[in-house]
Amino acid sequence: MQVARATIFDVAQRANVSIKTVSRVVNREPNVRDSTRQRVESAISELRYRPDQSARNLASHRSHLIGLVYDDPAAYELPSSGYIIKMQEGALRACRAGMNELLIHPCDFRKKTVGAELKALIRDARLSGIVLAAPLSNMPRIVRAIESTNTPLVRLSPGSVITDLPTVVTNDREVSAEMVRYLAQLGHTDIAFITGDPLHEAVADRFLGFQDGLAQSGLKMIKRFVIAGDNSFRSGEACARKLLQRKHRPTAIFAANDDMAAGVIRVAGRMRISIREQLAVAGFDDITLSRQLDPALTTVRQPLARMAEHAVAMLANHSEHSNYECVPATLQIRESTGPAPVKH
């Protein structure tokens, strides 16, 4: 037998408050005592109450719907969905805590109509706010299109700060320098770097960090050891072949993301170059694949879930947060890196 769904009347009765007070708590309105709010929230949790979304929308003239807008992975030949899943996890967690719903919207920023597409999305879905992921977050025409609708916006990893809009980032440059220092401490002096898609400004910061790390370690950058990739697995393979077929090849390769680092490991295996003993490989992002590789990939854990969670919280409680937050990334040391091979 199906159990009847709890109603707002049930919550009001359990918490011994009026229906109006329950509505204020659900809609995150001010002027509710902390003790009363806690009592209502406890009743909501005990009864597993879920507000009727359509009625809630009509009552408040807003949708309680937050949009997560990101680059469509279908536009890539070999996309990695790991970073998208992490963003969704964090955004959903924050939405549930704030009794909001999440709408995910991949879009192709290469289309000239993307601005009109986003305006129509905001109008038709009556979005309460938007979290805009990279690389869309650093594209002025897309940011301006959203701003023109007066919809609250928080940008994830936009690279350079192009406006004073609320922004959540991680420390790409600083943690990339830390990775290079770690490789140098292992004795590596011939360190290569595979750059990422130039449209991702935050990824470009990783190359700056690579240069910083070399300088901090007293090493010079070897220009022929810097190869341009495009964030895809296949470009990682192509770059690895160029680097590892050289007579004087690097002993360590740091790729700007995990997909390209995985491509390096695959090529090295085919060339019978031993990972860790003959070649150290490091990546960036800590997607699921990095732990499934053999050997497991040393990488930088980008806190995408927490970043998205902070972005949604910033939208929901804008008065309680600053306009800029940095969620630090951390090194994840695994089996793909080891001491530099002894030169004979």
pLDDT band at 111 (very low <50, low <70, confident <90, very high): confident
Distance CA 338, CA 277 (A): 6
Cβ contacts of 297 within 8 Å, gap of 6 or more? 258, 261, 262, 265, 281, 282, 283, 289, 290, 291, 334, 336
Task: Please list the alpha-helical segments (H only) found in the chain.
Answer: 8-15, 19-26, 34-47, 53-60, 82-97, 114-125, 140-147, 172-185, 201-216, 233-244, 258-270, 288-292, 304-316
Distance CA 286, CA 257 (A): 8
Handedness of CA 23, 25, 28, 29 (dihedral sign): positive
Residue 301 bridge partners (DSSP): 285, 330
Higher pLDDT, 204 or 299: 299
Fold match between domain 65-170+304-328 and domain 172-302: yes
Superfamily of domain 65-170+304-328 in the CATH hierarchy: Response regulator (3.40.50.2300)
Judged against a pLDDT cut of 60, whether residue 56 lies above it is answered with no
What residue ranges do the domains of the chain occupy?
65-170+304-328, 172-302
List, for residues 211-239, the tens digit of each pLDDT value.
999 999 999 999 999 999 988 899 999 99
List, for residues 249-306, the tens digit of each pLDDT value.
999 999 999 999 999 999 999 999 999 999 999 999 998 889 999 999 999 999 999 9
How many Cβ atoms from other residues are within 10 Å of residue 247's Cβ? 4
Count of alpha carbons within 13 angstroms of residue 106, beta-carbon side: 12
Look up residue 136 and give its DSSP letter: G
Concatenate the DSSP letters of all residues of 256-318 into one string.
SSHHHHHHHHHHHHHTTPPBTTTBEEE-SB--HHHHHSSSPPBEEE--HHHHHHHHHHHHHTG
Ramachandran area for residue 187 (φ above 0: left; ψ -120 to 50: alpha; else beta): left
The overall pTM is greater than 0.95: no
- Fold type of domain 172-302: Rossmann fold (3.40.50)
Amino acid occupying residue 61: H
